[in-house]
Structure 1
């Protein structure tokens, strides 16, 4: 039996899934994605992830039947390689880089890259420029700049490649209109550091003999180039744009990213953290986003207790709001401090309800800015929220909302890269709107308060 392994590295968790070529899951296990706080700056624990991956594969009884391996990861992350190893630790993009004035003079315009100015290291070009400017002798040892999915492909095979979905993810490194590197790359003289560009589904090579020993993978196991996680979620739906259908995919995890496939890219606003991501096929896709998973957790608290409709209705009737923002990074309300407009103690169920209402309001605000119409498909964790989709549908009578039964759209999308043609089409559940009048009135007051807050 021929099996496929998908290594899915999110900002919060990392997951390994092993499936048959028809998509049947045989193994699914996860670990926390730790950030190492020691050293000059916080960085990804790549050696810890590697050890966990090797141990997990070794414990999987059918590992020798894995014939293909593919990685999908969060964006804004790169590995700088020299002499067969990391020259620098892989920077955590949430670290606050203090180079505002210098990088402001170096980065390309929003009009060129469709990449908004973001805080911390969310513009990957800023991370690389900081390393080059502050540690020039070490930077001179760099021979390859690898996007994060391709770092793992390199670590497995020893072959270095580049791929467009991670290059085009608010990095300042890519120009979507020309399909080429940006003026920043030319200005800094980095072009030769980026390996050859390949498609996300390219077979980079087979696993190294040393990797085969560490993991138990067969020496003939092929490694696929890999893909940015939100773009992996889009893969099953990209054909919609060629058919002229209006379709927006909401990929939810630590981030909630809304991608309007086939929409007008000219709508994006830098100040609202809107951008053009680049699909696996090289097309620019208008997107809006905020840290929905992070903010939900901040509002709902550690003890998650799913709410009932009565909890939602009570908060609406009492005009209790969560006003943005509850994460310091990204989103249309970046820079504002989160506030809950009540002094009474909320139950765990009410906190869950309030977090749901908050995400519905911010999402609707972003979708209106995107000008999205027609079908809206919710992927990832929010597809399992009992009220998010129905309330979102209730805010716009023309909006048709669906939930994917696959709560891990990134993994499923990455699986499609492995040249499989018999994976079942995802089942989509159409959602019936709920509390339409009440949620519309609630949103109007929330928006006025959010903008004034």
Structure 2
């Protein structure tokens, strides 16, 4: 008897994956691939959209032929801030530009001078000034720097919607991609910002389609309900929203530590925008206030320095257990003032000025590094906790598996319940959950998220 499953394509910057997920939200099949990058017309590295397109089509053909599985539906999640540009014949006519590509300063200045300044545009669109990470700014650049290409564009599809288009043949826009630091969406008016209309950019954007609805796709004589795709950060939040009704914040940790608060509806202030806060739109269209900290990157750089000095492997930090005695000793030494915080960068940068020879051991130095990061993390998370009744903090990603980070975070928020949380392949599960009603007759499971509780005393932990 075949197992009923949903196929989810999860496209990251590095790993491209396809999953089959059963009706109990267990992953029963996984395939992944990695591709070499190509370059755009300026020689800047970017995703090879031709390779990705070929892999998508081949993978779809393969999974529909797999014995033992009956694919009931399909959906997609991908990284954001990236447009794929197609002409009237549906052909890709431009590179998939990298969102880290430098943005022309003069053109950026012209844009903000025209539309009321950085503060006004950022406040309205809940988007800090981030260059190409504001994906709407790519279309603005193409219009003025590559007018012939711009004129040839029939639709610019955010990457999740392009991946869906490959299968459905239908072009749509999705609110989770539009609402992700694009500078396209006016959060107060719940429509595209005035500049999008005035520049004619809106003509290049496909109609908005609900993120929790599907289109019907006929393949090989069968019909598949198919979603239009979601931005990965919004998809990863869905399992938490599905399992928990009490207010919470989620700290998603990786290169960036992003604190997401779905229960903070207050508009972003100019001060918050200047401190790297932004808003996402979750799949129902509600704003999610978020703050960002480059803590994962800092951790990577500083552990390299420590490994070199103490002559240990790069990942030696994974062997370090939390030691409250070390923390107490370091706090008494007052290498860092945990109460005076000018901004979130202060304590991330502080460790750079410390000489590793000041520490008796790698363990001491590593605890100091995490103390610095936690001070900055407490400040960053606090920016989106203010004026809310949140009592629970969930941490997922790399730092959730780090006992030193988790114990120190619990100590930094003594009035909160702090949990290390894990959802296997959260973005893929979220994409499946978004269209649950269209393929799955079972009720939503209550055990999507595994939790480990860290008490504020920072010395004991309980399994849940």
- Measured against the shorter chain, the TM-score band is 0.7 to 0.9
Which one of the candidate residues 16, 19, 23 is aligned to 1:17? 19
User: Counterpart of 2:166 in 1: which secondary structure?
Assistant: helix
Q: Measured at CA, do residues 380 and 315 of structure 1 come closer, stay the same or move farther in structure 2, by a change above 3 Å?
A: same
User: Counterpart of 1:431 in 2: which secondary structure?
Assistant: strand
Structure 2: stretches of 5+ with no match in the other structure: 305-312, 338-342, 460-464
Deviation of 1:89 after TM superposition, in Å, equals 0.9
**What CA RMSD, in Å, does the superposition of the two structures yield over aligned residues?**
3.4
Deviation of 1:378 after TM superposition, in Å, equals 1.9
Q: 1:203 aligns to what?
A: 214
Which one of the candidate residues 362, 368, 374 is aligned to 2:391? 374
Deviation of 1:23 after TM superposition, in Å, equals 1.1
Which one of the candidate residues 273, 280, 283 is aligned to 1:280? 283
Q: Which has the larger radius of gyration?
A: 2
Q: Measured at CA, do residues 350 and 317 of structure 1 come closer, stay the same or move farther in structure 2, by a change above 3 Å?
A: closer
Distance 2:406 2:186 in 1: 34
Instruction: Decide which moves more: 421-430 or 124-133.
Output: 421-430
Distance 1:352 1:261 in 2: 33
After superposition, give the CA deviation of every residue in 1:237-294 in whole Å (9 maximum; x if it has no partner): 44799x6x43112223443221112224235511111012111111122111134444
User: Counterpart of 2:109 in 1: which secondary structure?
Assistant: helix
8 A contact 1:320–1:340 mirrored in 2 = no
After superposition, give the CA deviation of every residue in 1:207-250 in whole Å (9 maximum; x if it has no partner): 6x6xx7xxxxx853332111111111222344799x6x431122
After superposition, give the CA deviation of every residue in 1:306-362 in whole Å (9 maximum; x if it has no partner): 032357864774569899xxxxxxx9549x968523333798877875665454333
Deviation of 1:402 after TM superposition, in Å, equals 1.9
For normalisation by structure 2, the TM-score amounts to 0.79
Structure 1 residue 26 corresponds to structure 2 residue 28: yes
Instruction: Decide which moves more: 166-175 or 70-79.
Output: 70-79
Distance 2:251 2:81 in 1: 19
Which one of the candidate residues 69, 78, 87 is aligned to 2:74? 69
8 A contact 1:173–1:182 mirrored in 2 = yes
Distance 2:363 2:31 in 1: 28
Distance 2:216 2:294 in 1: 35
Which one of the candidate residues 299, 302, 322 is aligned to 1:299? 302
Structure 1 residue 432 corresponds to structure 2 residue 463: no
Deviation of 1:397 after TM superposition, in Å, equals 0.9
Deviation of 1:139 after TM superposition, in Å, equals 0.5
Q: 2:443 aligns to what?
A: 422
Distance 2:320 2:258 in 1: 26
Distance 2:177 2:336 in 1: 33
User: Counterpart of 1:424 in 2: which secondary structure?
Assistant: coil
Deviation of 1:110 after TM superposition, in Å, equals 2.3
Structure 1 residue 162 corresponds to structure 2 residue 162: no
Distance 1:298 1:234 in 2: 28
Which one of the candidate residues 79, 91, 95 is aligned to 1:85? 91
Structure 1 residue 134 corresponds to structure 2 residue 145: yes
User: Counterpart of 2:52 in 1: which secondary structure?
Assistant: helix
8 A contact 2:257–2:295 mirrored in 1 = yes
Q: Measured at CA, do residues 387 and 54 of structure 1 come closer, stay the same or move farther in structure 2, by a change above 3 Å?
A: farther
Deviation of 1:395 after TM superposition, in Å, equals 0.5
8 A contact 1:179–1:282 mirrored in 2 = no
For normalisation by structure 1, the TM-score amounts to 0.81
8 A contact 1:5–1:16 mirrored in 2 = yes
Which one of the candidate residues 66, 90, 110 is aligned to 1:102? 110
